[in-house]
Every structure is written in C-alpha cells, then in structure tokens.
Amino acid sequence: MSEAGFTGELWRSIEGIYAAILDHPFIRGLTDGSLPRDRFRHYVVQDALYLRDYARALSLAGVRSPDEGALVMFDEHAVGAIKVERSLHESFFRDFGITEEEVRRTPMAPTNLAYTSYLLRVASLGDYHEVLGAVLPCYWIYAEVGRALLERGSPDELYARWIDTYGGEEFNELVRAVLELTDRACAGLNPDQRAAATEAFVTTSRYEWMFWNMGWTLEGWPV
C-alpha cells in the first residue's frame, strides 16, 4: 500500500514477518476453508478482548499527538474499532452461540496479554513516533492480509465475512489515512528516532503473527 516515505521503510523491515503470516496455517485455512471452527472461535473471542485495549492505545496516540487533526482521527478510529469490529464479532458470537458474559469471563491468552500490555506501555511512555510505530501494524497488516485473501476468496461463509471486512475499501481508507499521518509525523526524525519507531513497528508485527498462532494452537495458560 505504501512504498515511499518512512512507512515504505517500515514495511520493508517486516517483509519476512508478513510472508510468514500469509503462510501461516490459520491464514491459509481461512481461504481454503480448512481452518477448524474451534480455532476461529478462540481467535474471535481473544480478538474482541484485544480490541478493548487497542482502542485505548489509539486514544492515547491521539492524546500524545501535537496535531489536533490526528487527535480527532485517532479518537474516531478508537470508536470505530469498538463499534465496527464489535459488530463483526457479535455476528460471529451469534453463529457460535457465545454470550457477551462468556466473552467478559474469558481470560486473555498469554500472547494477547503480552501484546496489549506492550501496546499500552508504548502508548503511555514512548515518544510519539514510537506510538505510531506500535499501533500501525494492527491496521496495516490486517488490510494487506484482507486484500490478499479477498483475491482468493473462501468457500466458508463465516471466513468470507471476515475477509470481506478487512479486504474492503472502507477499512483500507482508514489505513491509508494512518499511513499518510505517519509519513508526515516522522518526516523529520533523526536516525535514533527512526530506529526506535522501527523497533516498535517490528515488535507489534511479530505479535500479529503470534496472535494468529495463538488462535491456531488454542493457546491458554499452562498453569
């Protein structure tokens, strides 16, 4: 989606991670329909829990921004993360017969807790460019995965619904806005600042792979 500017550099830093994501059996199972439903169910519940803290991280990104336009955008995206994606999750919950109470009582899996804890720490304590680096992969990788899978389609209506959401133009417009903001905000960074933003971007990109792997392995607490 972006080859120029700082975001182009960021994407090139995770090309291997992104390739591993596309090759993961969870992702491949969405398009060929082979993904077991219990693994998708586990993923969806954990994703709903994740979004509560991701929305908080987006709100913090807005608060940390020196740009009022970014403040408004991130606040709108935080609301959208809760409203739009919750609507998608609720449709899956109905399919699986899961209640909101069950979701609330489900503990975060270790990977989910580690990912959200890292996001909130960077959003609270990191410099603004690090915050942008940390929140960007959840937007961008989902958009790229969604578009890649949209070309393949899925024989499973449930999985096709997920693919259509993230591969659709509405979600891609949000991602383009964040990419443009990141390029503007990071244009004058010195080498150390660029390295810090890149480290945050790579770290949460790794967590994205781990999140799908969490769904695939039905990850829970061992003790």
Domain ranges of the chain: 5-217
- This prediction has a pTM of 0.93
pLDDT digits 0-9 by tens, 42-95 = 999 999 899 889 989 988 988 888 878 777 887 777 776 666 666 777 788 888
Using DSSP's 3-state secondary structure scheme, residue 107 falls into coil
Catalytic residues: 138, 208
pLDDT at 212 (0 to 100): 97
Mean pLDDT in residue range 145-158: 93
pLDDT at 207 (0 to 100): 98
Using DSSP's 3-state secondary structure scheme, residue 155 falls into coil
CA–CA separation, 194 and 136 (whole Å): 14
CA distances from 184 to 159, 176, 188, 205 (A): 35, 12, 8, 21
Helix 157-167 with 25-32: angle, nearest 10 deg = 110
Architecture, CATH, for domain 5-217: Up-down Bundle (1.20)
pLDDT digits 0-9 by tens, 158-180 = 999 999 988 888 888 888 888 99
CA–CA separation, 171 and 75 (whole Å): 16
* CA nearest neighbour of 195 among 61, 3, 9: 9
Place of tokens 């443009």: 180
